[in-house]
């Protein structure tokens, strides 16, 4: 199963040599997982229990507009329906940004307290935002691993193992970074990600933010 961002530049077919039918996919803004999200839970439940999926890939990507939106100030009031929907969705990312102790993020928070004068999306290469992309993937892997679905799966040794992997795709050079945060059943060796990665493009993608 592929859990990625809604950004069309980072679909499972773009990143992996995946033929139709190879991957069951779910995508949302900033590749998040929350246990109260019925849609993602339904997709993951069907993937694991219905399709027999054994690998869940959490795929973040650099230059993620959803991550950038979470470090920006809140939009001015009054909010319309769209503002409420987007801001509610990225609240877990804002919380991650506010609480992270990763040095790049701490330095960025101290530099722009309260989200004041945060750089525009053209500065998505900033080390802090790249770190946020990685920390968000790690958080999503952790949330999936501690979800009721996966905990029940891990407590039943008669069922096939399910492994969760955290990866980050770089739009500029087509490379994938394995964050080495894979999770599997207790005591079981973690196998490598089983999907072939497309060769890096000869020319980098145009880096443009499709932020919410």
55 known member of a binding site:
no
Task: Give the CA distances from residue 200 to residues 16, 20, 127, 204, 205, in Å, rounded to whole numbers and listed in that order.
Answer: 11, 21, 22, 8, 10
Task: Judge whether 64 is annotated as a binding position.
Answer: yes
Has 61 been labeled as part of a binding site?
Answer: yes
Q: Which residues does the annotation place in the binding site for Zn(2+)?
A: 5, 7, 61, 64
Q: Which residues does the annotation place in the binding site?
A: 5, 7, 61, 64
């Amino acid at each position: 199963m592929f859990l990625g961002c809604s950004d069309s530049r980072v679909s499972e077919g773009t990143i992996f040599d995946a033929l139709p039918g190879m991957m069951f996919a779910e995508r949302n803004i900033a590749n998040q997982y929350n246990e109260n999200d019925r849609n993602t839970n339904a997709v993951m439940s069907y993937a694991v229990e219905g399709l027999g999926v054994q690998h869940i890939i959490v795929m973040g990507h650099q230059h993620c507009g959803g991550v950038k939106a979470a470090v920006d100030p809140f939009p001015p009031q009054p909010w319309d329906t769209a503002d409420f929907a987007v801001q509610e969705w990225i609240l877990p990312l804002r919380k991650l940004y506010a609480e992270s102790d990763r040095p790049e993020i701490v330095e960025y928070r101290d530099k722009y307290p309260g989200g004041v004068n945060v750089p525009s999306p053209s500065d998505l290469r900033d080390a802090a935002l790249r770190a946020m992309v990685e920390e968000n993937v790690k958080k999503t892997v952790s949330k999936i691993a501690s979800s009721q679905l996966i905990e029940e799966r891990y407590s039943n040794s008669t069922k096939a193992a399910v492994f969760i992997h955290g990866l980050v795709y770089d739009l500029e050079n087509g490379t994938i970074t394995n964050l080495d945060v894979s999770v599997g059943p207790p005591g079981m060796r973690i196998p490598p990600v089983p999907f072939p990665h497309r060769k890096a493009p000869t020319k980098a993608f145009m880096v443009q933010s499709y932020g919410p």
